Amino acid sequence: DPVFTMKGVTKVYDTGGAKVHALAGVDLELPGGELAVLLGPSGSGKSTLLNILGGLDHVTDGRVWFRDLELTAMRDRELTRYRRDHVGFIFQFYNLVPSLTARENVQLVTDVARDPMPAAEALELVGLGHRMDHFPAEMSGGEQQRVAIARAIAKRPGVLLCDEPTGALDSKTGIQVLEALHQINRDFGTATVVITHNADIQKIAHRVIFFQDGRISRIQENTERLAPA
């Protein structure tokens, strides 16, 4: 069954007279359990689509489902609950609270989640069992991003939405982040949608979805998928 279904999705931004068609009639079915990469030039609509899937933004027209929940029929309160219960977000910048340790940053989420795993378990999953009591400033960029991943997965979300998760990292630390995402997708079957220019992540994706001018121009199934070393 698809994890996300989009039918005729349009998003128009109206910035004082000038209308921008960020999405211009998108139909999409994303199979469950997959890691999908969104690729395309800047301004082609990738972030807009990710924000709609994450319940952070409304469509102008069309319909969107997460499994059998229709996001486009939800009020803001229900969308907030949807995000809290089902969605893990990972962004380019880690947004950790500097005055809290790695464990405490993850606990911010596990304290309010419906069925969380212990913060320590989430940190161990991303290879940071030995860094739990460190503060963000005491960790490398790759470690901080893995704390952000631990925070995102600790509530056992159905889906992980990642916007340039390795954008601020060099290629070596980017690989640690890639490996964490790959392992979570493989071991938990967490559907993962990633906006990334990182060629290594594209290699482990089940499919790559190409955007052009607010439309999906092509979907490439990755039959020669590589498992990371």
Query: Residue numbers of the site for ligand ADP (CB under 6 A)?
Result: 13, 15, 20, 22, 40, 42-48, 56, 80, 83-84, 89, 211
Q: At its nearest, how many Å lie between ligand ADP and the CB of residue 224?
A: 26
Q: At its nearest, how many Å lie between ligand ADP and the CB of residue 217?
A: 12
Length of the chain equals 229
| CB closer to ligand ADP out of 53 and 175 | 53
| CB closer to ligand ADP out of 30 and 175 | 30
CA distance 130 to 107: 16
Q: At its nearest, how many Å lie between ligand ADP and the CB of residue 55?
A: 8
Q: Which two tokens stand for residue 154?
A: 């600790």
What separation in angstroms does the CA of 2 have from each of 25, 89, 90? 19, 19, 22
The amino acid sitting at 17 is: G
| CB closer to ligand ADP out of 79 and 128 | 79
Let me know the angle formed at the C-alpha of 207 by 90 and 39, rounded to the nearest 5 degrees: 60
CA distance 99 to 140: 16
CA distance 144 to 209: 28
Q: At its nearest, how many Å lie between ligand ADP and the CB of residue 214?
A: 7
| CB closer to ligand ADP out of 18 and 137 | 18
